[in-house]
Amino acid sequence: MCSRHLKLRKFAIGCLGLSIICSMNIGYASASKVDADSSSEGKPKVAIIIDDFGNGQKGTEEMFQMPVKITAAIMPFLPTSHRDAEIAHKRGYDVIVHMPMEPKTGKASWLGPGAITTDLSDSEVRKKVEAAIDDIPYAIGMNNHMGSKITGDERIMGIVLAVCKERGLFFVDSKTNYRSVVGLVATQKGLPPVNNHIFLDDTHTTSHITKQLREVEMWANQNRYCVTIGHVGKTTADTLRNRIPQMQGSVEFVGISDLVKEKWGWNASPMLPSNNQ
Ligand SMILES: [Zn+2]
């Protein structure tokens, strides 16, 4: 990695805590399917992943109103997990499983149900990953919720990625740990070593998110693509909706599946037995 990359990277220390407070009953049914961003062929690609769907948090409805295709990372076994997956799919978004994983520090209550922790046996890890994939319809990939401890654990990530590969899913390293082994293990297993480059909203202010979006634009223009992660929330949604039309002058917004297909030639389809229809 060159120094320019290091300078640009803005990683949050951990994923935002997920409050298990729910659940808003919002009508999304009228949301129409988003069009592919076909106006900007040949431009650098940007994949926006929005984490922490599934809990009916504020900003959920706004996230379903983006003018371009984004990727919804949905936590399993939560009150609106299934509903959010259905709406995201209907809207034309990519759906991925947002897999709760133990962090080095942080509250266990932020993990959410079905989490992977280092005390689990190999077979227990496998069961948790399979159950999470089964719980999220339309999932074509997975990323980690928190997970600074687990993504540095070669034993566990070996099992997680083996299950992903069996099920036709790729894994996006959210990069909550600088010493993550995910890219290495993914390459060993023949999976695309895709990871987050820039966190959008480790501070929830319009000015910070706007600044991070400028960095996304710079990163994409220097490297031809950029993966960026934000979280369900009204400020993030509003800032994205304001900034996306301006950014379309220099970048193209794509789903994470479009990016891994183009960059790594990843064509696997989710496989049975599974609920990801
Ligand atoms: Zn998360």
Q: What is the per-residue pLDDT across 191-241, written as a single tens digit (0 to 9) for each?
A: 999 999 999 999 999 999 999 999 999 999 999 999 999 999 999 999 999
Rounded to the nearest angstrom, the distance between the alpha carbon of 269 and the centre of ligand 1 is: 25
Q: Answer yes or no: is pLDDT of 124 > 90.
A: yes
Rounded to the nearest angstrom, the distance between the alpha carbon of 264 and the centre of ligand 1 is: 25
Rounded to the nearest angstrom, the distance between the alpha carbon of 8 and the centre of ligand 1 is: 22
Rounded to the nearest angstrom, the distance between the alpha carbon of 17 and the centre of ligand 1 is: 7
Q: Residue 10: what pLDDT?
A: 36
Q: Does domain 3-11+39-264 have CATH number 3.20.20.370?
A: yes
Q: Residue 32: what pLDDT?
A: 64
Q: Answer yes or no: is pLDDT of 115 > 60.
A: yes
Rounded to the nearest angstrom, the distance between the alpha carbon of 144 and the centre of ligand 1 is: 7
pTM reported for the whole predicted model:
0.85
Q: Please, how many CA atoms are within 13 Å of residue 257, restricted to the half-sphere of its CB?
A: 24
Rounded to the nearest angstrom, the distance between the alpha carbon of 266 and the centre of ligand 1 is: 24
Q: Residue 267: what pLDDT?
A: 82
The closest of 90, 41, 100 to 69, measured between CA atoms, is 90
Rounded to the nearest angstrom, the distance between the alpha carbon of 149 and the centre of ligand 1 is: 14
